[in-house]
Amino acid sequence: MRRVSSELTYRKKAAIILAVLGSEVAAGILRHLSDEQVESLLLEIARLDKVTPELREKIVDEFHRLAQAQDFIAEGGVESARKTLAAAFGDDKAGEMMGRIVGAMQIVPFEFLRRTDPLQVLSFIQDEHPQTIALILAFLPMSQAATILAKLPTDLRGDVAERIAMMEQTPPEVVRKIEAVLEKKMSSVINQEMSKAGGPKALVDLLSRVDRSTERLILDNLSENNPEMAETVKNMMFVFEDIVTLDDRAIQAILKDVDVKDLGTALKGVSDEVSEKVFSNMSERAVNMLKEDMEFMGPVKVRIVEEAQQKIVASIRRLEESGEISVGREEEDVLV
């Protein structure tokens, strides 16, 4: 039987399989997937045109063969699976099936560490080079990585945080070398394509899960060693729409510190929740004047709106650094 057209993505093939299985069986499968995967597959199912019986048969046949290949891999590893498939289908077909199944498996680097207690991982990696620790944390779930980052020695914590923020793409051979160091105690990871992890967003996600003292320590260290990166991270930690999370006293302090024209521009196109949060802390007369100014502006380019919002975010950061307002996660009051 001919191979299914390579133009069909794995996601589209999965959508066809789910459609063939029926809603009851498909629902049982979807319960085991992440929200993002479910949304992605449901969107593909919604986009499906009429599937011909011939195409449906080919995809089901391919799915069956891939399932067989995965069973063989689980039982005896990749090489054992290749030999078994070669005996059953011939060398050419076995090579084709193995190439496709290995490409589809999407095994995550350092998967074996995800099943390990964070404190055990910490004891295992804390003596590694800071770049190695940064790479490992970038691939771990955020909650697990945040726990490990917060427990690292103070001088090491800032160094690792900066390396996470600066990290971009990591060649697979580098990942495999690091895994090789750990494989005596942990599992090995299947070869994969170029992996992207780390970056400023990864550090922001980590900082949102550590305590404020750890956050400040890391940001201070980053500001000293890499001011430009520190500015990028700070900008990503609080966006204009987060203004709805501030209390009225903080909003009033911000309104005193910002230019009215910038405020009107920044409010163009935001949600009602954001604008009402601002308006509720202004006098009726001031609100009416601001609304008139906004109407007089007419359409405004998105770039101009974002620049105005960033000015206000910068003002919010200045007020927080001076201690006039509090921004971020709620913490228990500490007495000194």
d(CA 58, CA 56): 5
- Please say if the pLDDT value at position 282 is more than 90: yes
pLDDT (0 to 100) of residue 215: 73
d(CA 203, CA 164): 6
pLDDT tier at 334 (50, 70, 90 boundaries)? very low
pLDDT tier at 21 (50, 70, 90 boundaries)? confident
What domains appear along the chain, each with residue ranges and CATH number?
Answer: 10-105 (no CATH), 111-232 (1.10.220.30), 239-321 (1.10.220.30)
Average pLDDT over residues 43-64: 75
Average pLDDT, the chain: 76
Q: Output the pTM of the full model.
A: 0.40
Name which residue leads in pLDDT, 112 or 53. 53
Q: Hey, what are 166's tokens?
A: 């600066």
State phi, psi for 170 to the nearest 5 degrees: -115, 120
d(CA 334, CA 296): 48
Average pLDDT over residues 191-197: 43
pLDDT in tens, 225-234: 888 888 888 7
Q: Hey, what are 94's tokens?
A: 């076995």
- Please say if the pLDDT value at position 106 is more than 60: no
Q: Hey, what are 187's tokens?
A: 């599992």
Report the percentage of the chain scoring pLDDT > 70. 71
State phi, psi for 189 to the nearest 5 degrees: -115, 135
pLDDT in tens, 75-98: 555 565 566 667 666 777 767 666
Name which residue leads in pLDDT, 187 or 210. 210
